[in-house]
């Protein structure tokens, strides 16, 4: 702060556009004349997009069946009733018959849907051990505390995979049978149960612990399966690439849903004669009914769906785009009206002045 001591001009600020806040700038003045074309163009674009989306969504077929077994809905009622109040529920099967009058354009995906199922409950959602699932040997023996009460079995063994999510693995199974002609025999339609998980999940996030003597079972020795499971994790599938933590059903299940109603991919139909889709004819889905949902008022559905470039059937996106596009155009018109009305007035005012 010794002003006088410094040399002349030593404290003179730099004269640059930046320091003097005179950067070359573009100051857009958003007037109606700019906004109007913008809105009309955007509106048209959105409408176009919406139409495209709508029609492509309409081209998608979806076939859905609720097999929860609420009284009077399907023949799964028996199973549902049988399982009521019993834990574990008895093994039970039911079936869903349907007929396709025409080819169900492939590729066809088979989903199951659960409703009123809070996979996004925080307590539930955190109840997993990503370290364990990524194949860390140490974590296999020492699951994180979040897994409690599914951390250690009653025998004191660490549970693998630990946590509530794994414990509640969806364990209904489906098989699809096709009857070419009336009265003909049902042929099993091959369901591809691989390739239903995310690439990252399957390859990175979920890894089996290192094999012991070439055996996965040995690797899991000293662990207990989750209480609700009937078989240990290494026995989920005979396929070595689809068992243990990298069992794709398991991986799909472990990717928790965001909302209480969710669909998860069960299988893809793309093999054999069914590459192009499901040909017409009668079908039967054999359902192994294990998973209880009626206790909390949930529903179970099975869904066949084809797919378009933008995903499954979702007319809403197209509709939404149509609405937004129309809105844009509407707003454009409103603006136009307002603009013309008031601009004139302003001009008049100015004239008066």
Site for other proteins in 158-177 (CB under 8 A): 164, 167-168
Nearer to other proteins, 180 or 263 (CB): 263
Number of residues that bind other proteins (CB under 8 A): 124
Answer for the pair 232, 90: CB distance below 8 angstroms, yes or no: no
Binding mask 206-245 for other proteins (x = CB under 8 A): ----------------------------------------
Count the neighbouring beta carbons within 10 Å of the beta carbon of residue 237.
Answer: 17
Contact with other proteins (CB under 8 A): which of 54, 65, 111, 274?
A: 111
Rounded Cα gap, residues 220 and 160, in angstroms: 8
Nearer to other proteins, 218 or 240 (CB): 240
Task: Pick the piece of the chain touching other proteins (CB under 8 A) from 153-161, 177-185, 191-199, 214-222.
Answer: 191-199
Rounded Cα gap, residues 79 and 300, in angstroms: 13
Contact with other proteins (CB under 8 A): which of 104, 109, 250, 283?
A: 109
CA angle 223, 249, 254 (to 5 degrees): 70
Nearer to other proteins, 44 or 307 (CB): 307
Under the binding rule (CB under 8 A), the answer on residue 271 touching other proteins is: no
Backbone phi, then psi, for 22, in 5-degree steps? -120, 35
Count the neighbouring beta carbons within 10 Å of the beta carbon of residue 98.
Answer: 11
Rounded Cα gap, residues 162 and 170, in angstroms: 15
Under the binding rule (CB under 8 A), the answer on residue 154 touching other proteins is: no
Task: Pick the piece of the chain touching other proteins (CB under 8 A) from 90-98, 130-138, 151-159, 230-238.
Answer: 130-138
Under DSSP, the state recorded for 116 is S
Least distance CB 162 / other proteins (angstroms)? 12
In total, the chain counts a number of residues equal to 353
Under the binding rule (CB under 8 A), the answer on residue 51 touching other proteins is: no
Task: Pick the piece of the chain touching other proteins (CB under 8 A) from 69-77, 182-190, 214-222, 340-348.
Answer: 340-348
Nearer to other proteins, 272 or 311 (CB): 311
Rounded Cα gap, residues 256 and 250, in angstroms: 11
Contact with other proteins (CB under 8 A): which of 201, 223, 229, 242?
A: 201
For every residue of 241-255, DSSP letters joined together read GGSGGG-HHHHHHHS
Site for other proteins in 2-41 (CB under 8 A): 3-4, 6-15, 19-32, 35, 39
Under the binding rule (CB under 8 A), the answer on residue 204 touching other proteins is: yes
Under DSSP, the state recorded for 9 is T
Task: Pick the piece of the chain touching other proteins (CB under 8 A) from 69-77, 95-103, 282-290, 332-340.
Answer: 332-340
Q: Is the dihedral of CA 275, 277, 283, 288 positive or negative?
A: positive
Nearer to other proteins, 18 or 238 (CB): 18
Count the neighbouring beta carbons within 10 Å of the beta carbon of residue 244.
Answer: 27
Q: How far is CA 33 from the centre of its chain?
A: 43
Contact with other proteins (CB under 8 A): which of 51, 52, 100, 190?
A: 52
Binding mask 277-306 for other proteins (x = CB under 8 A): ---------------x--xxx-----x-xx
Rounded Cα gap, residues 51 and 323, in angstroms: 10
Under the binding rule (CB under 8 A), the answer on residue 202 touching other proteins is: yes
Contact with other proteins (CB under 8 A): which of 98, 222, 261, 299?
A: 261
Rounded Cα gap, residues 51 and 57, in angstroms: 10
Nearer to other proteins, 91 or 203 (CB): 203
Least distance CB 309 / other proteins (angstroms)? 5
Q: How far is CA 84 from CA 35, 162, 250, 294, in A?
A: 62, 26, 25, 8
């Amino acid at each position: 702060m010794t002003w006088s001591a410094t040399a002349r001009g030593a404290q003179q600020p730099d004269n640059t556009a930046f320091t003097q806040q005179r950067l070359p700038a573009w100051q857009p003045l958003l007037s109606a004349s700019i906004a109007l074309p913008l809105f009309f163009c955007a509106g048209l674009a959105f409408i176009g997009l919406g139409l495209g989306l709508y029609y492509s969504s309409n081209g998608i077929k979806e076939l859905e069946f609720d097999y929860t077994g609420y009284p009077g809905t399907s023949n799964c009622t028996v199973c549902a009733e049988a399982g009521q109040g019993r834990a574990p529920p008895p093994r039970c099967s039911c079936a869903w018959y349907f007929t396709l009058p025409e080819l169900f354009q492939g590729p066809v995906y088979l989903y199951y849907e659960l409703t009123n199922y809070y996979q996004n409950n925080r307590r539930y959602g955190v109840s997993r051990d990503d370290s364990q699932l990524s194949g860390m040997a140490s974590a296999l023996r020492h699951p994180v505390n979040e897994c409690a009460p599914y951390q250690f079995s009653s025998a004191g063994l660490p549970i693998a995979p630990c946590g509530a999510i794994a414990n509640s693995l969806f364990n209904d199974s489906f098989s699809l049978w096709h009857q070419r002609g009336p009265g003909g025999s049902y042929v099993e339609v091959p369901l591809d149960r691989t390739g239903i998980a995310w690439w990252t999940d399957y390859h990175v996030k979920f890894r089996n612990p290192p094999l012991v003597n070439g055996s996965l079972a040995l690797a899991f020795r000293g662990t207990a399966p989750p209480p609700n499971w009937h078989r240990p994790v290494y026995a989920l599938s005979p396929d070595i690439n689809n068992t243990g933590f990298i069992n794709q059903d398991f991986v799909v299940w472990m990717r928790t849903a965001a909302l209480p109603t969710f669909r998860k991919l069960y299988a893809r139909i793309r093999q054999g004669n069914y590459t192009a889709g499901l040909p017409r004819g009668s079908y039967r889905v054999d359902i192994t009914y294990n998973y209880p949902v009626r206790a909390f008022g949930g529903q179970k559905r099975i869904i066949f769906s084809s797919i378009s470039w933008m995903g499954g059937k979702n007319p809403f996106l197209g509709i939404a785009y149509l609405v937004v596009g129309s809105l844009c155009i509407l707003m454009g018109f409103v603006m136009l009206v307002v603009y013309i009305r008031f601009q004139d007035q302003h001009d008049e005012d100015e004239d008066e002045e």
